[in-house]
Amino acid sequence: MVTFAYIDRRDCSKIRWKEVLDLTDPVLAGFTPWPADLAQRYRDQNCWTSETFGDVLTARAAAAPDRIAVLDDANSWTYAELDHRSSSLATGFARLGIVPGDRVLVQLPNRAEFVEVIFALFKLGALPVFCLPAHRKAELVPIAGAAAAEAMITCGTHQRFDYAALAAQVRDEVESLRHLLLVDCESLPQGARHLDEYRDTPAELAGPSAGDVAFLQLSGGSTGIPKLIARTHDDYLYSVRRSAEVCELDQDTVYLATLPVAHNFPMSSPGILGAIWAGGAVAMTPDPTPATAFPLIEWFGVTITGLVPPLARLWTERAEAGDTADLSSLRVLQVGGARCQDELARRIGPALGVTLQQVFGMAEGLVCYTRLDDPIDVVVSTQGRPMSEHDQLAVVDDNGVEVAPGGTGNLITQGPYTIRGYYNNPDADARSFTAQGWYRTGDIVSVRPDGNLVVAGRAGDWVNRGGEKVSAEELEAHLLEHPAVRDAVIVGTPDPVLGQRICAFVQPVDPAQRPTLISVRSFVRSRGVAAWKMPDTVVVVDEFPETGVGKTSRKDLRQALADGAHGK
Q: How far apart are CA 359 and CA 340, in angstroms?
A: 10
**C-alpha distance from residue 105 to each of 28, 149, 174, 471 (Å):** 17, 7, 12, 22
The confidence score (pLDDT) of residue 568 equals 58
CA of residue 109 relative to chain centroid, distance: 13
Domain range list for the chain: 48-60+81-238, 390-460, 465-562
pTM of the model: 0.85
Q: What is the CATH number of domain 390-460?
A: 2.30.38.10
Q: Which phi and psi angles does 451 have, rounded to 5°? A: 90, -5
Q: What is the CATH number of domain 48-60+81-238?
A: 3.40.50.980
All residue ranges of the chain with pLDDT < 50 are 1-27, 221-224, 548-550
Apex CA 431: angle with CA 425 and CA 432, to 5°? 85
**Under 8 Å between Cβ of 18 and 99:** yes
Q: How far apart are CA 281 and CA 400, in angstroms?
A: 44
Assign domain 465-562 to a CATH class.
Answer: alpha beta
The confidence score (pLDDT) of residue 14 equals 29
* Nearest C-alpha neighbor of 106 from the set 132, 71, 139, 142: 132
Q: How far apart are CA 41 and CA 438, in angstroms?
A: 17
Q: Which phi and psi angles does 412 have, rounded to 5°? A: -125, 155
Helices (H), 207-270: 233-246, 264-268
* Ordered DSSP codes for 55-104: HHHHHHHHH-TTSEEEE-SS-EEEHHHHHHHHHHHHHHHHHHT--TT-EE
Residues 6+ apart with CB under 8 A from 332: 247, 303, 304, 305, 354, 355, 357, 372
The confidence score (pLDDT) of residue 463 equals 87
The two domains 48-60+81-238 and 390-460 share their CATH topology (first three levels equal): no
Q: How far apart are CA 487 and CA 476, in angstroms?
A: 8
Q: How far apart are CA 85 and CA 75, in angstroms?
A: 13
